[in-house]
Amino acid sequence: RKVPVFPSCFQFQLSSRIQPAGFIMFRSFQVSCLFMQSCILPCSLYNGDELILHWSYTKGDLNVHSFYQNQDQLGNQNQRFRNRTSVFKDQIPRNNLSLKLTGVKLQDEGRYKCLRSQIIIVSPAAPVSDIRIHQDGNRITCSSEGIYPQPELTWSTEPPSNTALNETTRIQKTEDQLYDISSSLTGPDGPDLIYSCSIRTRRNQRRATLRRLCKSVINSPTKETKLHVRTSLKQKTKFQDFHFHPNRSSYLRCRTFFFRLQATNQA
C-alpha cells in the first residue's frame, strides 16, 4: 500500500516501522509551525472501511477535530481550537487524515494524537524577520521584535577592535509570549569600523551591518563626499554610490551608514 507524502509548514522529522498488516505506520512527526500561520499536521493511517477520524491534544486529552458519518463532528471540540481546524475530506478515503491548523499560537505547542497511535509534536516558531540598527551620537543600537524561541544577540567589528565593546542587551516578553531583543554599545573612537549585529534562534539567523564614517573619510565640511559602497543582501553583492553633504544635515564627528543585511536559515 502506497503512503502519500505530506509537506509541513516549516519542517518535520519522522520515524517509522513496518506493521504486520504490511503497511507503514509513522510513529511520530516533529513539526515546526510558523507563528500565526497555517500548518499541516501530517497523518497517514489505514482506518479500515469506516471513515472515522479523531484528532486530540494529549495534554488534558482535548478534542481537536472529529470527522465521521461523512461530515465534521465538532460538538465536543475544545474551545481553543474553534474555527481553526479542518481536514481534507476528499482525501480521507485515500488514508490522508492530516489536520490543518490555522493561526498557530505558542499555546499550540505540544503533542497531538491522530486516531490512537500516531503522535505529532508541534513546535511553534517566530523566526527573526527584521533587524533595525542605528547610531545616536556614539551609541549604536540593534533590535528586533516578535521572535520565538528566545533569541541570542552578538556583536562583532571589522576589522576586530582592540577595545572591549561595552554592550548592554535587554530581552522582553510580549503579551503573545514572543521575545523582543535590543542591544546597545558605545563605539570606540578611532579608525572607521564596520559593526555587525547578529540575532539568532535555533531556527534561523539574521545579521545587520553598520559602518561609521569618521572625519578621516568626510574631511571637508564644505564639499560633498561621494562614497562607493558595496552592499549585500542574501549573498548578492552590488556597488552603489552614496552622497553626503554636511550642510544638508547635522555634522557629527562620525557619520553612520547602514549598508548590509544578510539572512540565513538553519535546519
Averaged pLDDT in 10-residue chunks for the chain of 267 residues: 41 41 59 96 80 92 95 96 96 92 97 90 95 90 97 92 86 96 81 88 93 54 41 40 41 43 51
What pLDDT, on a 0 to 100 scale, did the predictor assign at position 213?
A: 60
What residue has cell string 499550540? 108
Q: Which three cell numbers stand for residue 197?
A: 549585529
What pLDDT, on a 0 to 100 scale, did the predictor assign at position 49?
A: 67
What pLDDT, on a 0 to 100 scale, did the predictor assign at position 191?
A: 61
Topology of the domain comprising 11-125:
Immunoglobulin-like (2.60.40)
* φ, ψ at 261 (rounded to 5°): -140, 120
Give ∠ CA 47-48-51 in degrees, rounded to 5: 65
What pLDDT, on a 0 to 100 scale, did the predictor assign at position 27?
A: 65
What pLDDT, on a 0 to 100 scale, did the predictor assign at position 29?
A: 84
Architecture label for domain 132-265:
Sandwich (2.60)
Domains 11-125 and 132-265 share a fold: yes
Show me where the domains of the chain are located.
11-125, 132-265
